[in-house]
Structure 1
Amino acid sequence: MNIPNLRNTESGNFFLMAGPCAIEGEEMALEIAERIKTITDRLQIPFIFKGSYRKANRSRLDSFTGIGDEKALKILRKVGETFQVPTVTDIHESSEAAMAAEYVDVLQIPAFLCRQTDLLVAAAKTGKTVNVKKGQFLSGEAMQFAVGKLRDSGNENIILTDRGNSFGYSDMVVDFRNLPIMQSFGVPVVMDVTHSLQQPNQTSGVTGGQPALIATIAKAAIAVGVDGLFIETHPTPATAKSDGANMLALDNLEALLTQLVKIRQAIR
């Protein structure tokens, strides 16, 4: 699947990476993708479907991690083929890069792993677009070294994503200065709206969140001039098997995106 021009789309719009946190099943994935595709087509927003085939970073051993790698990756491929949209998923180890690249269009490097040289090099060498999430522990300036590793490995198809910075032991805060700083490296930059509202390290072992502020973070990012948004969404976040506490309810996506398109048009 061809990746759209992520910095200068014909519509002048931002692009959207959206979908469930984890692939829970084929029916759910297709339902979410179809609804997002309908909305983004109407609003002329380039869309990349997001879903993790496996969740490796969990607080508790009994947390949901996935339905099986091959099964989930095949669902991601089916979503892409059915709706003619690019797809993105996380990888966690160098050995996963080539495998995942057979099924998806964009390989995503999780924030905690953004300094892992072998992982970045393996992702770069697949030739796929690589989306690197900025570590919660890093400044925007520090991400130039992740970009350098990918470029030095022969890959110029790079996206950087901000997902907030650790604030104390169990909260996140967004420093919007990081968006233009990372754009200065000559790559598209995304604001991960939903993960930046996480409240990690809760005593229950289940990450909390502040979904009521999703619109606030998204509007601010668009006003700053971000190239794209990353939003995890689910028909019923309360029943989602991963990260439900900070997801956007799917029914609320169209109204939010409509507002964001208006802001984008206003600042242009």
Structure 2
Amino acid sequence: MINQIPGIKHTDTNNFFLMAGPCAIEGEDMALKIAERIINITDRLGIPFIFKGSYRKANRSRVDSFTGIGDEKALKILAKVGHEFGIPTVTDIHESNEAAMAACYVDVLQIPAFLCRQTDLLVAAAKTGKFINIKKGQFLSAGSMSFAVDKVRDSGNSQVILTDRGNTFGYQDLIVDFRGIPEMRSFGVPVVMDCTHSLQQPNQPNGVTGGKPGLIETIAKAAIAVGADGLFIETHPDPLHAKSDGANMLHLESLEQLLEKLVRIRQAL
């Protein structure tokens, strides 16, 4: 199913696919450089690649947090990345009226975890005819995501992807229940593990989300081992100075070595 996304590169290796890129679109040069670096790696390893970048960050702890460089400007950058490199792109939407707008620029619409129960949003996304990546809410069981899938399918769109991003564990931590990956795959959709957001540490006293990027490799290895179809990894050439979610992003220079290990695990399976 994933090979039906426009621009996805077909491989003969039965490999996992990768959604990766910066948390937010910070500028054109940055987006193009990150995309080019990831493409060089994924082409060599035979990994189908979808470039990820948020055109706007709506869910912020503080009113002074970075939200974006402007919707149209960021969406045009996403479209340029897709056109220049011939790859599919994904971005998240937050309200029903954003679905048709974003669909003009990207190949996959992403529903944020906190919004995965919003019926109007799911229906509006489905009606664009695009692939819909729904992130599992931190507050939901894997089994309950079947209803989110049904909302998209019942709206006439069978192109659904589910992404696990961990479960709330107390007020300031998340854990991953890897039983959820095979359970959600039983719905007949590709399942992705978000290896970076699942390591967030939300609700910090300073209003800036923390994270444990040192465990990205652990989460990714376990996800491939239990049968995840894809991985979601936010990456940046300078996470410490990223404008959004830098605390849990993978340094871009660490991506190649990690993917090499994961490909070997996939081949062993």
Coarse TM-score class (shorter-chain normalised): over 0.9
Name the structure 2 match of 1:97.
99
Q: Secondary structure at the match of 1:141?
A: coil
How big is the shift at 1:232?
0.1
Picking from 227, 230, 241, the partner of 1:228 is 230
Read off the aligned partner of 1:101 and give its amino acid letter. Answer: A
Name the structure 1 match of 2:82.
80
How big is the shift at 1:76?
0.0
Give, in whole Å, the separation in 1 of the partners of 2:75 and 2:12: 30
Give, in whole Å, the separation in 2 of the partners of 1:233 and 1:148: 31
How big is the shift at 1:10?
2.6
Q: How does 1:99-178 map to 2 (within 5 A)?
A: 99-178=101-180
Give, in whole Å, the separation in 2 of the partners of 1:220 and 1:194: 13
Name the structure 2 match of 1:265.
267
How big is the shift at 1:129?
0.1
Does residue 1:45 correspond to 2:47, yes or no? yes
Give, in whole Å, the separation in 1 of the partners of 2:144 and 2:265: 29
Output the TM-score relative to the length of structure 1: 0.97
Read off the aligned partner of 1:112 and give its amino acid letter. Answer: F
Q: Secondary structure at the match of 1:95?
A: helix
- Aligned pair count reads 265
Give, in whole Å, the separation in 1 of the partners of 2:235 and 2:181: 23
Where does structure 1 differ by over 6 angstroms across 4 or more consecutive aligned residues? Answer: none
Give the unaligned 5+ runs of structure 2: none
Name the structure 2 match of 1:196.
198
Is the Cα–Cα contact under 8 Å of residues 9 and 49 in structure 2 kept in the other structure?
no
Identity %: 77
Does residue 1:2 correspond to 2:35, yes or no? no
Give the unaligned 5+ runs of structure 1: none
Give, in whole Å, the separation in 2 of the partners of 1:27 and 1:4: 23
CA gap 1:133/1:5 in 2 versus in 1, 3 angstroms: farther
Read off the aligned partner of 1:93 and give its amino acid letter. Answer: E
Q: Secondary structure at the match of 2:96?
A: coil
Deviations 1:86-118 (A, max 9, x none): 000000000000000000000000000000000
Give, in whole Å, the separation in 2 of the partners of 1:4 and 1:224: 24
Give, in whole Å, the separation in 1 of the partners of 2:233 and 2:14: 19
